[in-house]
Homo-oligomer: A and B are copies of this chain.
Amino acid sequence: MPSPVIIAVAITGSVPRKADNPALPVTPAEQIESTHAAFEAGATLVHIHVRAPDETPSSDPNLFRQVQEGVRRHCPGMIVQFSTGGRGRTPAQRSAALEFRPDMASLSTGSVNFPSIVYENQPPLVDELAGKMKLHGVKPEIEVFDLSHIHGAKRLVEAGLMDRHAHLQFVLGVKNAMPAIERLLKVLVEEARTALPDMTWTAAGIGRHQSEVADWALALGGHIRT
């Protein structure tokens, strides 16, 4: 499967605060400049969360729009990916920014335990997010936190809510979800290749697992995310 390696960057997650890392980009202007720096260093995809001025996770679609516009201006050709993740957002708020037609958006196809909460992706919400992505021409990145989530993606393809050339990201090393073990990544990749033969994939290790998961993913023929 010879395809170019995508170097992705998640400029601002949903958890850390400036108190943890003073360099954390929080405002749209800071996020745009941080993305530009990563772009110049070779990153080709940016995964976007936005924050309110008090640094809590925001669901304001206008913040997503501002970051997208800035990235498009400063980083020509870079792939813009919006998060539709749940932290600090109601189910209805999670799809609100899709109307701005980013190139991609994250999409979780199942529920799973996270370090201190249940990451809830209710079955009707999964369908709604996929349907809105299809409507607005946004390519989903399926966030696979557990084995059944691959089959959640397959159900979307079968329901006509997603193209069979699905893109999956296997996320390892989240406490209470999938541990960062190479054997488990192999299991996930093998099942995805069987269930969704036309898929492409990346893998992400959280925190201290980032570089080992990137190594395993490259060895198995996947892309990486930094």
A interface residues, Cβ below 8 angstroms from B: 110-113, 115-123, 126, 145-148, 151-152, 155, 176-179, 183-184, 187, 191, 194
Contact = CB atoms under 8 A, between A and B. Distances in A.
Contacts of A187: 147, 187, 191
Contacts of A183: 191, 194
A205 to B, nearest CB: 15
A116 B113 CA distance: 18
A29 B152 CA distance: 41
B191 A184 contact: yes
Contacts of A113: 110-111, 121-123, 126, 148, 152
Nearest to A119: B111
Contact of A148 (B152, B155, B177): B177
Given A118-B118, A148-B176, A152-B176, 9 more contacts: A111-B119, A117-B123, A120-B120, A123-B176, A145-B148, A147-B184, A148-B177, A183-B191, A183-B194
B111 A147 contact: no
A136 to B, nearest CB: 24
Given A117-B122, A120-B118, A123-B115, A147 B178 contact: yes
Contacts of A112: 110-112, 146, 148
Contacts of A120: 111, 118, 120
A113 B223 CA distance: 28
